[in-house]
Amino acid sequence: MAAPDMSVYEELSALENLHFFARLRGLAVADAFLRDLLVNLGLPAREQTRLVGTYSSGMKQRVKLAQAVLHEPPCSCFDEPSSNLDAAATRRWRGWWPLPPRAAVAVATNDPREIAWGDARIDLAL
């Protein structure tokens, strides 16, 4: 799951955050895999070892998205995944979808760009 209020540890780097969350899931992932994941989400290698607390909100969102997909889940839920991302980063995220081809993905959003990503739409009236 990835949501705007999802937390990352600001006193760790992006790589350290991903290694930590991978270990929590019992995953043994190579540093190169995590670096590639972050690069594909638009976080350059030179930025990956800086403390997350120094990042812009868009850079933090990239780390959160990486955290949500690093274990390649068969089912995912994203709450406004492109929040804090500029248009280019949103296109990059959508163009490079790091989940398995048959993964079930739910996106909660009011953003017309994100709504267009879906195969089906469910409108909830509260």
Residue 41: domain span: 14-115
Supply the pLDDT for residue 124.
Answer: 73
Supply the pLDDT for residue 2.
Answer: 62
Strands 104-108 and 75-79: parallel
Query: Environment class of residue 56 by beta-carbon count within 10 Å: exposed (0-12), middle (13-18) or buried (19+)?
Result: exposed
Kindly indicate the confidence band of residue 29, based on its pLDDT and cuts at 50, 70 and 90: very high
Classify residue 2: in a domain, yes or no. Answer: no
d(CA 108, CA 79): 5
Classify residue 6: in a domain, yes or no. Answer: no
Query: What is the pTM assigned to this prediction?
Result: 0.83
* Count of domains forming the chain: 1
Kindly indicate the confidence band of residue 3, based on its pLDDT and cuts at 50, 70 and 90: low
Classify residue 1: in a domain, yes or no. Answer: no
At 56-91, the pLDDT tens digits run 999 999 999 999 888 888 888 888 888 888 888 887
At 48-63, the pLDDT tens digits run 999 999 999 999 999 9
Q: Please say whether the dihedral angle defined by the alpha carbons of residues 96, 114, 60 and 66, taken in this order, is positive or negative.
A: negative
pLDDT exceeds cutoff 80 at 96: no
Residue with tokens 């953003």: 111
> Chain centroid to CA 51: how far?
17
The residues, ordered by sequence, that sit 6+ positions from 52 with a Cβ below 8 Å of its Cβ are: 8, 9, 10, 11, 12, 13, 14, 17, 59, 60, 63
Classify residue 106: in a domain, yes or no. Answer: yes
Query: Environment class of residue 64 by beta-carbon count within 10 Å: exposed (0-12), middle (13-18) or buried (19+)?
Result: buried
